[in-house]
Amino acid sequence: MKKLIAGIASLVMCASALITPAQQAFTSVSVHAAGDYNYAEALQKSMFFYEVQQAGVLPDWNQVSWRDDSMLTDEVPGGWFDAGDHFKFALTNAYTAAIMAWGVIEYKDALKKAGLYETYMNNLQWGLDYVAGCDRGDAVVGTIGDGFDHQWWGSAEVYMRKYKLTSGDDARPFDLITATSTTSQMAAAMAAGYIAFKDENPTLAKSYLEHAESLFELSDKTRSNDDQGVQKSYYPATDYFDDLFYAANWLYRATQDQKYLDKCDEYIPNLATESQSTERKYTWGYCWDDALQGAALLYYENTGKEEWKTQIDHHLQYWIDGYGGKQVAYTPDGLAWLMEWGALRHVTTTAWLAKLASDVAFKDDAAKAEKYNNWAKKQLDYCFGDNDLNLCYVQGMGENNPKTFHHRTASGIHDDHWQSLGLSEEDAQGWQTEYAHTLYGALEGGPSKDGTFTDEVGQYQYTEVAIDYNAGYTALLCAMIDDYDCQPLADFPPTETPKWNEFEVAAVIQQNQASYTQIQLWAMNHTAWPARVVKDLSYNYYFDVSEVLEAGLSVDDIKVTIGYDQHAGDEGALSISQPIQYKDNIYYIKASFNDGSVVMPTGQSEHRSEAQIRIAIPDTAPAGAWDPTNDYSFNGLQEGGQDLLKSPEAVTPYITMYDGDTLIYGTEPDGTKPDDVQPTPTETQPSSEKTDLLYGDVNEDNSVNIMDIILLNKAIYGKAELSDKAQKQADAMHDDKIDASDSLAIMKYIVKLIPELPVV
């Protein structure tokens, strides 16, 4: 579905000086001076993390070999999954995209020099396009997903199969909200996106600016967080004037229109103050629920007013040495620690402000610039291993990462027993313990205030990962590669190969009598490279008929029956063949699923399908006419029940599995094995009719791009009207109606997953 493209730049290692003991264990990074890591590698891997988080039809530039399309029926396509779950929030997508845009706005040349600019801009646009798609004029799509996203553990690619099985619904729920904090963050992201793309893609940038202006108007008019919808249970926004102030500053920076600075002056008296004080708030930290300090730096850049430089200074002093009798706590090994939820998220975002402030606000104050710059670097390096645990909290960097991280798709869980991840085999009681994938670039939550770290997948405050956790960290890395001459890895990402059999069969002898053998089997789907289903699924059981023939019977005397079928009566029901000759006296029976998609890596009961199959000859046959001991598929089978069946000892390569006619598991009697790379089924798209219409061109600009999808979604929702020609061109499915399937088809065309429109 997509091609992996490795970087072609040669790895230029940073010059090495002194290497500390903590760095000696950190072998995958290079060193420029004592304590300096390869920040370009870290940024490269952060982009990988954001590509892991992509929902919808994946673009051809996505580098994650174990990801595939997902959530194709979402109200708004694309976007980033929020964290280790599958929610999509407009708030966190917008917050994240705005900070990422800020990073490239300030340090574009550094990204270009490192060869990461195109990758960075691709990922930034992915988030911005989703934010734009959530804009519905008088409301926004706030949340896509529901409580099921936190109840079920599994891969994004098969999420909707489990969701439909559980709820009966073909699409995830969504809500429309008007919360000012959310719409303001969206306006800020759109304005920042305009600045980032105005020189590269003026048409796209213009669209972002239009969204920014309309979203800001909605925010300023609403001035209420009462309507937060589902978001409130997960990201409860509090005050909103900081968000309005933040958005107005971004709009001014984008347009230079004085009216936005006038709005800033209107909001300033309403900004939060310190408790029991008239002094403007300088505590806490820049995050999705507190944009004040980020807005303060923007406002200083926009106006040059010294009081806002002082505001930034007070905030950074609070984080470093203390100010006004208040100071952030510190761990014994030197981490500035704000709270137990996302400690490293908070410190790296503040480090981003400190680094940017040292380059912008304090560039003429050498002492403060050096102080804030050094502090930012020290806190970032803590994340990479400069701590008492010598633990690198960025997955896939160095050699000593936490062994667990809280992420469903990257775990590759097929049985839903996620609590067993990271446990010993003994403690896991037979459930999956090993992660399928390396979650390169993901910044984990971090340690406790005492510097300890609880390395357990269920301890969310320590092992959670999220798009907003990586946001300030990513922007900070943009600044760091401006200072340090590092380059990304030339051979990244490595190609992952499956760590276990993606398909396999387990079997035990249920009964073995003089005239028949009854086998209990599990056909299993443990796919994770990527997770997927196979519709045309079957398996073969091989046996030798020599004794039957020697006893004067024929192959026609052998009868095969199904004693039990887990999917009897539903769409996956098994059918069983009578004996088919393989070679000479070796025959096989084929058990075929009517729809093998029912065997899916979505839970304890779905990842395998149980059947009991009996192969028999007449009871009146001579003694010895039935002898399974020389049967190929009987090899190694043991007598037992469910406990044995679910053990590794029951897995057998002598019962083979197929996707259609393609062998996908096991070894046939002649030694044939599956290809090293198993094919993933794809659908062949039919050719379209020749026409003078440009299907997909909804906005009639003679091109097909993401802006057509945004306009089409508005039209579907009744927020925009289309001309007759635009309606015809919007009918990408060529079925004389316009709906979400047309949006999906256009998206597939844009990312080159289908060759042409319309789909007929």
Catalytic residues, by residue number, are 85, 406, 455, 464
Distance in angstroms (rounded) separating the CA atoms of residues 655 and 262:
74
Residue 712, CB half-sphere, CA atoms under 13 Å: how many? Answer: 33
Side chain identity at residue 225, one-letter code = N
Distance in angstroms (rounded) separating the CA atoms of residues 471 and 286:
11
**CB distance 401 to 45 below 8 Å:** no
Q: What 8-state DSSP symbol labels residue 179?
A: -
Q: Where are the alpha helices (DSSP H) in 321-365?
A: 343-359
For every residue of 257-292, DSSP letters joined together read -HHHHHHHHHHGGGS-B-TTSSSBP--S--BTTB-H
Q: Among candidates 130, 163, 164, 161, which has minimal Cα distance to 147? A: 163
52 is written with which tokens?
Answer: 């892991």
Element (H, E) at 109: helix 90-114
Residues 6+ apart with CB under 8 A from 257: 251
For every residue of 420-480, DSSP letters joined together read GTTS-HHHHTTS--S-SS--TTPBP----TTS-----TT-HHHHB--HHHHHHHHHHHHHH
Distance in angstroms (rounded) separating the CA atoms of residues 548 and 627:
8
Q: Among candidates 351, 373, 381, which has minimal Cα distance to 34? A: 381
Phi-psi region of 671 (alpha: psi -120 to 50; beta: other; left: phi over 0): left
| Number of C-beta neighbours around residue 330 at 10 A | 14
Distance in angstroms (rounded) separating the CA atoms of residues 660 and 670:
19
Contacts 24+ apart (CB under 8 A), 679-688: 680/1, 680/68, 680/530, 680/532, 681/532, 681/534, 681/535, 682/1, 685/754, 685/755, 685/756, 685/759, 686/759, 686/760, 687/756, 687/760, 688/734, 688/756, 688/757, 688/758, 688/759, 688/760
Q: Among candidates 265, 469, 479, which has minimal Cα distance to 357? A: 479
Angle (CA) 563 567 571, round 5°: 135
| Number of C-beta neighbours around residue 146 at 10 A | 18
Distance in angstroms (rounded) separating the CA atoms of residues 235 and 672:
54
Side chain identity at residue 242, one-letter code = D
Classify residue 210 by burial, with Cβ atoms within 10 Å: 0-12, 13-18, 19+: middle
| Number of C-beta neighbours around residue 3 at 10 A | 9
Residues 6+ apart with CB under 8 A from 559: 578, 615, 616, 617
72 is written with which tokens?
Answer: 């194709």
Classify residue 623 by burial, with Cβ atoms within 10 Å: 0-12, 13-18, 19+: exposed
Cis before 530 (ω within 30): yes
Angle (CA) 340 342 343, round 5°: 65
**CB distance 477 to 106 below 8 Å:** no
Q: Produce one character per residue of 47-57: b if its CB has 16 or more CB atoms within 10 Å, e if not.
A: bbbbbbbbbbb
Q: Among candidates 410, 376, 438, 480, which has minimal Cα distance to 116? A: 480
